């Protein structure tokens, strides 16, 4: 038990005693907001179980602790010996924009907050700097589809890039929904190249009557050119189906099903033995 920095908290005579406390409450922070739905409406409907406000606060605190990099705040400076950049490629003068970025102490939560505030206010979320070498009146393209640029104002004498462009365009043929499966079946290598190769489940009666309609080219293009969702909008939901299912509860002491609820704190335990263990912890935390 010596010399590797792990402190034993459970006495050998009382192996199940939980000598462990949650990290101190540091209040709600950005990481909690990032973990949990932000809109009030969703928050109301997404409470897990029949929790009291006190239990909800504990839940958020626990989730925030699980999201942390380490349980203590650590600050590790960049090693001093490297500050003179000896032996490194010289990147030349640091531009003001780069200096500002390197000095920024903002967290992800700060940036996310800025972004959402701009979206709410309907303003441009990013202040974009001008092009470093651009002449004063250089036209800044307003097109939202910059990939098309080479099709438009291209030097007419330049060699056409069409074949390359085409190969990167989404051209889905009618049989495309079969394609991945056909690719995966090695035995089909002798199949007539003119016909779609047979599929191992061709005789499956379920497949016979089922022909999903393949989306049109326009539909595909629409899918592929839609802009990215914001960070918050891309967060996976708690689906309606899942909300209808009972949430599983576990014993806080041993991890078995949490069938018993502590009357004092609402915590879950499996049975009497773990309840007794829990009560000692509960007492020290909340008092009599």
**Can you give the binding site for Zn ion, defined by CB under 5 A?**
251, 253-254, 256, 262, 264-265, 267, 270, 274, 282
Structure tokens at 116: 């959402």
262 and 278 in contact (C-beta within 8 Å)? yes
Alpha carbon of residue 63 to chain centroid: 15
Shortest distance (Å) from residue 286 CB to other proteins: 17
Q: Does 162 bind other proteins (CB under 8 A)?
A: no
Query: Interacting stretch for other proteins, rule CB under 8 A, among 80-88, 190-198, 260-268?
Result: 80-88
- Answer for which of 165, 202, 217, 283 binds other proteins (CB under 8 A) is 165
Contacts of 107 (CB under 8 A, 6+ apart): 30
Asked if residue 266 binds other proteins (CB under 8 A), the reply is no
- 97 makes contact with other proteins (CB under 8 A): yes
Residue nearer to other proteins on the CB measure, 26 or 177:
177
Closest CB 137 distance from other proteins, rounded Å: 13
Among 179, 202, 259, 263, binds other proteins (CB under 8 A): 179
Which of Zn ion, other proteins, none lies near 117, with the C-beta cut-off 5 to 8 A by kind?
none
Q: Is 26 in the site for other proteins (CB under 8 A)?
A: no
Q: The tokens of 177 are what? A: 């929904």
Nearest to 285 by CA among 266, 261, 259, 258: 266
Q: Which stretch binds other proteins (CB under 8 A): 76-84, 190-198, 261-269?
A: 76-84
The partner in contact with residue 12, picked from Zn ion, other proteins, none with C-beta cut-offs of 5 to 8 angstroms by kind, is: none
The whole-angstrom separation of Cα 216 and Cα 213 is: 9
* 191 lines the binding site for other proteins (CB under 8 A): no
Which of 26, 38, 46, 191 lies at the binding interface for other proteins (CB under 8 A)? 46
CA distance 225 to 148: 11
Q: How far is CA 46 from CA 67, 179, 258, in A?
A: 19, 41, 21
User: CA of 131: how far to CAs of 8, 119, 125, 141, in Å?
Assistant: 59, 25, 18, 12
């Amino acid at each position: 038990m010596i010399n590797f920095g792990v402190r034993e908290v459970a006495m050998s005579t009382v192996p199940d005693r939980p000598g462990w406390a949650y990290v101190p409450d540091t209040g709600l922070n950005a990481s909690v907001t990032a973990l949990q739905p932000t809109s009030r409406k969703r928050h109301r409907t997404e409470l897990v179980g029949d929790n009291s406000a006190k239990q909800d606060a504990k839940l958020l605190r626990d989730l925030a602790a699980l999201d942390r990099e380490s349980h203590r705040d650590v600050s590790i400076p960049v090693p001093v010996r490297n500050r003179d950049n000896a032996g490194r490629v010289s990147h030349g003068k640091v531009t003001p924009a780069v200096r500002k970025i390197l000095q920024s102490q903002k967290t992800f939560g700060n940036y996310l907050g800025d972004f959402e505030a701009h979206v709410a206010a309907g303003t441009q979320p990013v202040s974009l700097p001008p092009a470093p070498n651009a002449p004063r009146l250089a036209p800044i393209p307003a097109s939202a589809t910059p990939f098309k640029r080479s099709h438009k104002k291209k030097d007419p004498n330049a060699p056409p890039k069409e074949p390359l462009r085409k190969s990167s365009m989404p051209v889905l043929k009618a049989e495309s929904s079969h394609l991945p499966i056909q690719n995966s079946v090695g035995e089909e290598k002798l199949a007539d190249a003119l016909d779609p190769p047979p599929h191992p489940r061709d005789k499956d009666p379920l497949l016979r009557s089922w022909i999903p309609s393949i989306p049109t080219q326009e539909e595909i293009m629409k899918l592929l050119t839609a802009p990215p969702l914001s960070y918050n909008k891309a967060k996976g939901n708690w689906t309606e189906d899942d909300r209808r299912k009972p949430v599983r509860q576990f014993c806080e002491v041993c991890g078995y099903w949490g069938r018993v609820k502590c009357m004092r704190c609402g915590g879950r335990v499996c049975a009497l033995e773990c309840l007794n263990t829990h009560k000692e912890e509960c007492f020290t935390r909340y008092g009599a």
